[in-house]
Structure 1
Amino acid sequence: MTDWTDPETFARALERVETVENGNYFEDFAAGEVIEHDPGLTLTRWGNEAWMSQTLNHDPAYWRSDAAEARDFDEPPIHPDYLTAATLGSTVEDLSETGGYFLGRTDVRFPQDAVYPGTELAVESEVVDTATSRSRPEFGIVSWRTRGRDADTDEVLCSYERTNMIPRREPVATDDGERSGADASRTDGGAGAAEDDEGSGLPETFVTPDGGYFEDFQAALEAAEAENGAVAYRHERGRTQDAVTVAQLPLATLNTAKQHHNVDAMADSPSGDIVTYGDVTRSTALGHARSDEETYREVGFDDESFHTFVTPGDTVYAFTRVLETGAADGAAGTVRFEHVAFDQDDEPLYSGTRTAKIRTRD
């Protein structure tokens, strides 16, 4: 009788058997294809609070009934950061579990004014485009338009367009050209050429708002314009990445990518370790930013990029630049920001533009 659990015998068996792989390769995607993701998940108050607490998003409207009612919510709703992460997490098994760099995301929108606990999330993705990577013959580039819907009403709750590098089954010849477009994103951890201060194009003056209300951002922009400066500042809080943020949070959103939980598989990868889910890095930076503002509603996000790896022990900080303000409707006014997450070595990790309604002082 063969003892299959004998270490030597078992090791020889492992060498001979094939591995049943999960996920899809670049060749499996075709423009126009629509993929229904299964199983989806139910958005719970527990999941929402776990995500928000660990990424330091402590807006009371998402925690307490009285604060929610004061913000015109029926009850504490699901936060858009958690909704975005849960929508993307549900797609990983079908779209990006085979690996590859998360190049960016844009046109992140929330068509509904509020989404409440108990909502069952159904997610679908349409393949927007496929392209050959000019610098990496073992990868292709795929873009998807993803929509998270209410499974009962079919209403769209969250939508965005995402671009990833996806492994090929067989490498192809490339022209070894310069990296451009999405393929130029520094998701491989490479450092760009540092510019000296004189050539950086930075303004001479930086203005920090006096507070977190709409009028404070408006006044800061006016002051910066008068001084030919910019409204830009960093946030004090930092969040060091641990087992909860690196592994537990993505797995709770059904994000099965081995990059976040399989130390063995990642030992020989460019990062050398498991890495933080991009939406954890993003939400943490946004949480730092929101702690210094009076957020009323999230409107949307654009031009999101992830620049390098975040591994256990790294600390995520945040930097904000105020780009412009729009009209105020009494309760709140629209402000457009640029946010940058950076680590303990001051290296950018994430960047994106955000549009939010910020409360007025009245």
Structure 2
Amino acid sequence: MSETLSKTNPGNFFEDFTIGQVIRHATPRTVTDGDRAVYGSLYPTRFAVPSSAEFAASVGLAPHPVEDLIAFHIAFGKTVPDVSLNAVANLGYAELRFHRPVVPGDTLSTSSEVIGLKQNSNGKTGVVHVRSTAVNQRDEVVLDWARWVMVHKRNHDAPAPETVVPELADVVAPEDLIVPEGLDFTGYDFTAAGEPHRFDDYQVGEKIDHVDGVTLTDSEHQQATRLWQNTAKVHFNTEARPDGNRLIYGGHVISMARALSFNGLANAQLIAAINGGAHTAPAFAGDTVYAWSEVLDKAETSAPGVGALRLRLVASKGRDESMTLRGEDGKYAAGVLLDLDLWALVPR
């Protein structure tokens, strides 16, 4: 009997990655207004720019862009079969910049370069750093970012590679933020947007309790993960984790926290960059997610009427009215699910 060659993709394990390796991810994905509609059904988002074509046009954005995070989820999902199909967990993000708004009809393609490798001391897993770039059908960069993920080894006896840990910036410098072409907040309609608060109303060090909470469900998080074509086994297959639980996709928590932040940050219309982020604890169906933000910094931009707020967006399991990020031991406080550092564009 002739040998049967496998035609299926088992995903890459830690020893399959090499420094400098470039991976072009399948499959290009065209964004539609359906993505906008389903996103709104999954997350309680109410930001005026992605919600209203008329509002978006009034601030210089026409055609009507979708939520920034739709582009992130689609681009991230493309990387999963090659980078994190055999992951233990996605560990963090850095240096993410949104280069231009995405509109229905744009087709996104993603590639990644391996920029770091470090085998863990247990010899069973390792951390892979990649820098990923998503482009549209005109080969224009839409967003790029670095992330690191813990991946299983196929063969525990395989030799460890030379350790390479990339140096990543703690924050995207304000002068490196990309403001969408034509964005103009000088005629901003605060009534339509939902809140009166502008750039000068926020102070560095201020914390904002976003008050509202949403209980996560298996059906919604699996629908979201399939929408972004994220095939990571831990999100669907109860046999992929020893505890038998389906892990909530970290991006689902990011979008939930971003949507919840509307209450207090309704005018933080666009995300310009994500400086860094960590999924600090797993989330599962039945957990109720709340969010709070801290203003870390403020910066002017060259766009008319547009300022930038650097925000720490924190998602927690259960509401924490004290808004505590870390305990006295320096470790993340119990219940913290997400620690995300981002720049958002607001009216001045």
TM superposition shift of 1:55: 2.0
- Distance in 2 (CA, whole Å) between partners of 1:141 and 1:34 is 17
More RCO (CA 8 Å, sep 6+): 2
Q: CA deviation at 1:76?
A: 2.2
Deviation at 1:295, TM superposition (A): 2.0
Task: Report SS of the residue matched to 1:342.
Answer: strand
Task: Verify the 8 A CA contact 1:106 1:162 in the aligned structure 2.
Answer: yes
The change in CA–CA distance for 1:234 and 1:19 in structure 2 (over 3 A counts) is: farther
**Alignment partner, residue 213 of structure 1:** 198
1:144 is aligned to 2:130: yes
> Aligned ranges for residues 1-362 of structure 1 at < 5 Å?
22-112=10-100, 114-134=101-121, 136-150=122-136, 152-171=137-156, 212-217=197-202, 220-221=203-204, 230-266=205-241, 268-269=242-243, 272-293=244-265, 294-327=267-300, 330-344=304-318, 347-360=335-348
Structure number with the higher helix fraction is 1
Q: For residues 144-198 of structure 1, what are the alpha-carbon distances to aligned partners after superposition, in whole Å with 9 as ceiling and x for unaligned?
A: 0001111x21111011001001100122599xxxxx999xxxxxxxxxxxxxxxx
Whether the 8 Å CA contact 1:149–1:158 is kept in 2: the answer is yes
Identical columns (%):
25
- Assess if the C-alpha contact under 8 Å between 2:68 and 2:270 holds in 1: no
> 2:291 touches 2:319 (CA, 8 Å); kept in 1?
no
User: Aligned residues, how many?
Assistant: 296
Q: Contact 1:246/1:275 (CA < 8 Å) preserved in 2? A: no
CA distance in 2, matches of 1:296, 1:263: 37
The Cα shift of 1:211 comes to 5.6
**TM-score when scaled to structure 1?**
0.76
- TM-score (structure 2 length as normaliser): 0.79
Residues 71, 296 of structure 1: CA spacing in aligned structure 2 closer, same or farther, 3 A cutoff? Answer: farther
Aligned partners of 1:277 and 1:23: how far apart in 2? 18
Aligned-partner Cα distance in 2 for 1:296–1:21: 40
The separation in 1 between residues aligned to 2:151 and 2:315, in whole angstroms, is: 25
- CA radius of gyration, larger in: 1
Contact 1:89 1:253 in 2 (8 A): yes
Deviation at 1:264, TM superposition (A): 3.7
Partners of 2:279 and 2:260 lie apart in 1 by 17
Q: CA deviation at 1:22?
A: 2.1
Give the Cα–Cα distance (whole angstroms) in 2 for the partners of residues 128 and 326 of structure 1: 30
State the distance in 2 between where 1:65 and 1:233 align.
28
Q: Structure 2: any 5+ residue segments left out of the alignment?
A: 1-5, 160-164, 168-194, 321-334
Query: What is the CA-CA distance between 1:100 and the residue it aligns to?
Result: 1.4
Displacement of 1:83: 0.7
Amino acid at match of 2:113: E
